[in-house]
């Protein structure tokens, strides 16, 4: 009886071994280099890129001095491709499905403490590379700004606790990689690679003047506020900017009750610096349109494209194109097949810039059928270019001169710089450069319901429409007429803000129920931390400082 049981168990194990174990789903690259065979399951670090055929253990970095304009790469040695690891998590799924919903999970430790975990976007890496690669290299820091998901992953780690963890001195950084699948819930596999390196953070010497609240010098256009604020909080913020915890910030302006409360400049900028705030310029296009409507050059925002263009002469004609409204460009809800949030979108702004005519580029696009009957928010820069072209052809002497006469001059803004389209029309999509204090004037104009020094530049009705929640972006974010809307929470209190926003973390904040306008300028263009660090600055430093009820 015992022999029969033993034979049954042996038979079961043989059958399981032959038929029950998982086999590879796809053929991955062979492990041919000796360094790969000796390093399976390791994440190795290197400075300058060494080709895999020349890579030796002596090239592995064990320590690294973290600084700007340098290079830090990882080379990951795996025993199989990520697709085959994902196959173990869900054996029933085909390879094309696995590559669409799965990728690597990265876990970052600093000094044995988990700082950040990220399920790498499924779009990082091609299906072919996921199926084949058993070794890969990505830059974490690149002196040449190499285009790679690795750099953005590293920056997200820094912005989500890494920067704070890397205080002056020596730290042990450890990275772990696992496979993950995004099904109804996220499935995470076993550890497939890990590595660690000593990170040396040089001490940044800052002087007292970099931290102290900057004294506001007298100026013509603004009265200086005598209101109090928590200066220690601003000095704490200034210190973090000096230490590069918050990077590339160039100015912070706070207006309270129409008076200049805080004026801070960083990283070589000053009161006269013109700041390229990128898409903040879109909000100026909204203002100029409002003026043109009030002056009768454009009937209203419900006018349609066929009133301005012979739409039939453009590619991908559809009768639905004729009736696309100006308002849909203001609210980022036009039905054009264009999305700046999707790199594969035909109408992505990066596809527009190399073309000879940006308006033609936009109007030649096909329509997205899913947007025709049910408008939805989708950021579409090319649509704002069309909006600028409509203004330019409708107002006397063109958009540039009209804006100067009816917007900038009444605000006392004399120093500014436009960017232009290939047709030499002022670019309403972004790139309008002003001084920080002049951006503050623009924000205050909306705070004062379109009035500046007794002159009604914008109608109150247009201001209300522009700042209203015209369309929902997400559960807690909305869009008006080229203005954003959301809440900040400080000490369990909600503070609603309308704001202009541009690449790199450039902002003009207009508070709904508080007497503040805030301007933040930055040069953190195309970084994952640009906008996130501004939210931290607002949430953790600026708002607590200016809303503080402490006794001084």
535 or 67: which leads in pLDDT = 535
CATH number at residue 187: 2.70.50
Does residue 276 form part of some domain?
A: no
Q: 221 and 189 share a domain?
A: no
Q: 47 and 190 share a domain?
A: yes
Residue 533 sits at φ, ψ, to 5 deg, of -70, -30
What is the domain extent for residue 349? 298-394
Q: 306 and 186 share a domain?
A: no
- Give the C-alpha separation, 124 to 203, whole Å: 35
Handedness of CA 401, 407, 413, 415 (dihedral sign): negative
Arithmetic mean of pLDDT, 319-324? 97
Report yes or no on whether pTM surpasses 0.85. Answer: no
Does residue 460 form part of some domain?
A: no
Does residue 9 form part of some domain?
A: no
SS3 340: coil
**Mind spelling out the 3-state secondary structure of 492-541?**
CEEEEEEEEEECCCEEEEEECCCCEEEEEEECCCCCCCHHHHHHHHHHHH
Whether residue 357 has pLDDT greater than 70: yes
Q: 90 and 123 share a domain?
A: yes
pLDDT category at 22 given cuts 50, 70, 90 is low
Arithmetic mean of pLDDT, 207-222? 94
Q: What is the pLDDT of residues 464-495, one digit of tens each?
A: 999 999 999 999 999 999 999 999 999 899 99
Whether residue 3 has pLDDT greater than 80: no
Q: 376 and 504 share a domain?
A: no
Q: 220 and 194 share a domain?
A: no
Number of H helices, E strands in the chain: 21, 22
Does residue 497 form part of some domain?
A: yes
| Residue 536, burial from CB neighbour count under 10 angstroms (0-12, 13-18, 19+) | middle
Whether residue 521 has pLDDT greater than 50: yes
Whether residue 551 has pLDDT greater than 50: no
Whether residue 353 has pLDDT greater than 90: yes
Q: 325 and 442 share a domain?
A: no
Q: Pick from 363, 378, 394: which residue ends a domain?
A: 394
Q: Pick from 145, 166, 201: which residue ends a domain?
A: 201
Q: 99 and 172 share a domain?
A: yes
Does residue 419 form part of some domain?
A: no
How many domains does the chain contain in total? Answer: 3
Whether residue 207 has pLDDT greater than 90: no
Q: 175 and 148 share a domain?
A: yes
DSSP secondary structure letter of residue 161: I
Quote the pLDDT of residue 244.
Answer: 87
Quote helix, strand, coil % in the chain, to nearest 5: 35, 25, 40
Q: 185 and 249 share a domain?
A: no
Arithmetic mean of pLDDT, 420-425? 98
DSSP secondary structure letter of residue 152: H
Does residue 215 form part of some domain?
A: yes
Residues in contact with 204: Cβ distance below 8 Å, sequence separation at least 6, in sequence order:
168, 242, 243, 244
Quote the pLDDT of residue 23.
Answer: 84
Does residue 440 form part of some domain?
A: yes
Residues in contact with 495: Cβ distance below 8 Å, sequence separation at least 6, in sequence order:
487, 488, 489, 511, 512, 513, 514, 543, 547
Does residue 160 form part of some domain?
A: yes
Q: 332 and 373 share a domain?
A: yes
Residues in contact with 208: Cβ distance below 8 Å, sequence separation at least 6, in sequence order:
none
Q: 103 and 196 share a domain?
A: yes
> What is the chain's mean pLDDT, rounded?
94
Q: What is the pLDDT of residues 370-394, one digit of tens each?
A: 999 899 999 999 999 999 999 999 9
What CA dihedral angle connects 122, 125, 127 and 130, to 10 degrees? -100
Quote the pLDDT of residue 549.
Answer: 66
Arithmetic mean of pLDDT, 294-298? 98
Arithmetic mean of pLDDT, 452-459? 97
- Give the C-alpha separation, 187 to 60, whole Å: 32
Quote the pLDDT of residue 8.
Answer: 42
Quote the pLDDT of residue 153.
Answer: 95
Whether residue 209 has pLDDT greater than 90: no
The H or E element that residue 139 is part of is strand 135-141
Arithmetic mean of pLDDT, 207-217? 93
Q: Pick from 201, 221, 254: which residue ends a domain?
A: 201
Residue among 380, 324, 392 at smallest CA distance from 350: 380
Quote the pLDDT of residue 169.
Answer: 96
Residue 548 token pair: 């503080």
């Amino acid at each position: 009886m015992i022999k029969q049981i033993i034979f049954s168990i042996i038979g079961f194990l043989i059958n399981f071994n032959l038929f029950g174990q998982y086999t590879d789903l796809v053929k991955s690259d062979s492990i041919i280099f000796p360094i790969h065979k000796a390093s399976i399951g390791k994440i190795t670090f290197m400075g300058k890129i060494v080709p895999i055929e020349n890579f030796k253990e002596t090239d592995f970095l064990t320590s690294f001095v973290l600084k700007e304009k340098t290079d830090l790469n990882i080379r990951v040695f795996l025993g199989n491709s990520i697709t085959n690891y994902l196959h173990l998590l869900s054996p029933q799924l085909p390879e094309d499905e696995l590559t669409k919903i799965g990728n690597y999970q990265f876990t970052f430790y600093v000094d044995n403490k988990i700082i950040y975990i990220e399920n790498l976007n499924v779009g990082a890496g091609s299906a072919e590379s996921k199926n084949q690669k058993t070794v890969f290299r990505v830059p974490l820091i690149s002196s040449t700004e190499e285009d790679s998901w690795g750099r953005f992953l590293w920056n997200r780690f820094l912005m989500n606790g890494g920067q704070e963890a890397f205080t002056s001195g020596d730290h042990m950084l450890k990275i772990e990689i696992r496979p993950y699948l995004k099904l109804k819930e996220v499935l995470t596999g076993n550890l497939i690679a890990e590595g660690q390196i000593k990170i040396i953070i040089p001490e940044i010497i800052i002087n007292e003047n970099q931290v102290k609240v900057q004294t506001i010098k007298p100026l013509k256009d603004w009265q200086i506020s005598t209101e109090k604020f928590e200066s220690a909080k601003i000095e704490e913020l200034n210190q973090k900017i000096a230490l590069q915890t918050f990077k590339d910030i160039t100015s912070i302006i706070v207006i309270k009750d129409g008076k200049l409360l805080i004026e801070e400049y960083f990283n070589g900028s000053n009161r006269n610096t013109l700041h390229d705030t990128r898409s903040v310029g879109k909000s100026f296009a909204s203002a100029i349109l409002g003026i043109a409507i009030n002056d009768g050059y454009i009937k209203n925002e419900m006018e349609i494209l066929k009133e301005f263009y012979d739409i039939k002469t453009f590619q991908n004609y559809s009768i639905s194109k004729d009736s696309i409204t100006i308002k849909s460009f203001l609210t980022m809800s036009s039905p054009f097949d264009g999305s700046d949030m999707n790199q594969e979108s035909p109408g992505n702004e990066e596809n527009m810039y190399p073309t000879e005519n940006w308006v033609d580029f936009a109007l030649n696009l096909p329509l997205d059928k899913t947007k025709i009957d049910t408008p939805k928010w989708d950021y579409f820069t090319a649509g704002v270019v069309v909006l600028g072209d409509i203004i330019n052809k409708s107002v006397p002497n063109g958009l540039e001169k009209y804006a100067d006469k009816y917007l900038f001059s009444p605000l006392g803004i004399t120093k500014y710089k436009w960017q232009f389209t290939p047709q030499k029309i002022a670019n309403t999509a972004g790139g309008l450069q002003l001084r920080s204090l002049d951006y503050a004037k623009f924000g205050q104009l909306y705070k004062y319901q379109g009035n500046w020094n007794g002159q009604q530049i914008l109608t109150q009705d247009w201001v209300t429409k522009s700042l209203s929640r015209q369309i929902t972006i997400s559960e807690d974010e909305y869009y008006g007429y080229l203005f954003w809307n959301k809440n900040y929470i400080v000490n369990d209190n909600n503070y609603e803000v309308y704001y202009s926003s541009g690449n790199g973390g450039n902002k003009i904040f207009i508070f709904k129920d508080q007497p503040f306008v805030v301007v933040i300028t930055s040069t953190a263009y195309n970084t994952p931390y640009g906008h996130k660090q501004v939210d931290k600055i607002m949430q953790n430093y600026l708002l607590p400082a200016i809303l503080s009820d402490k006794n001084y």
